Amino acid sequence: MTLRLGDKVPDFTQDSSEGQISFYDWAGDSWVVLFSHPADFTPVCTTELGAVARLKPEFDKRGVKVIALSVDDAESHKGWVGDINETQKTTVNYPILADVDKKVSDLYDMIHPNSLNNLTIRSVFIIDSEKKLRLTFTYPASTGRNFNEILRVIDSLQLTDNHQVATPVDWKDGDDCVIVPSLKDPEVLKEKFPKGYTEVKPYLRMTPQPNK
């Protein structure tokens, strides 16, 4: 199944390192980062899952639940978690889906056989509280992902939802934002952006980050 931005993501029930998970029920009203990795007991994956555990408070702050997935079984995940905790100096504090029958991998198109046969590659799905897909990207098995970039995208998406600003190239939390082009009424602009804005061009209007 090809999932496109804005689509409602499919629900599923699957086993995990924390028991059976019904995805929609588990997600509740939270945002979700669902990410796959190729296999348990592999080096890059070990560093990635450790990094996500260390970043969990940052995901919590943004109202985001995290959930990992590979096609290994739950017993394998539980054994591997011990290694992740030991080597990455952390405690894995989120579930890892055990997608042995590839039900979720197929639903979300996480297996790309011409890149890596029969195993999930490094897919990421950012899903909002309405279960809408807001970002997806796919990395090859040999390249570990930057989970701080995923947090940066969540910040940008939530700023757009809550304050009608977009974020420019290389934006970091605290930098100026861009007012979305659809906002034109000067009275609305004054009300929404009390800190003011700079009109570089009629279509390029910069304003201090509204929630700072």
Q: Which residue numbers are catalytic? A: 45
| Single residue of 3, 44, 153, 166 touching ligand BEZ by CB under 6 A | 44
Q: Which stretch binds ligand BEZ (CB under 6 A): 19-27, 38-46, 68-76, 94-102?
A: 38-46
Q: How far is the CB of 87 from ligand BEZ (least distance, A)?
A: 13
| Single residue of 20, 142, 146, 162 touching ligand BEZ by CB under 6 A | 142
| Single residue of 34, 45, 67, 127 touching ligand BEZ by CB under 6 A | 45
Count of positions on this chain that bind ligand BEZ (CB under 6 A): 8
As a whole number of angstroms, the distance between CA 151 and CA 56 comes to 10
Comparing CA positions, the residue from 124, 155, 144, 166 lying closest to residue 62 is: 155
Q: Is 183 an interacting residue with respect to ligand BEZ (CB under 6 A)? A: no
- What are the E-state strand segments in the chain? 13-14, 21-22, 31-36, 64-70, 96-98, 122-127, 133-139, 165-166, 177-179, 198-201, 204-207
Could you identify the residue written with the tokens 């080597």? 87
As a whole number of angstroms, the distance between CA 95 and CA 108 comes to 18
Q: Which is nearer to ligand BEZ, 44 or 183 (CB)?
A: 44
Q: Which residues bind ligand BEZ (CB under 6 A)?
A: 38-39, 42-45, 141-142
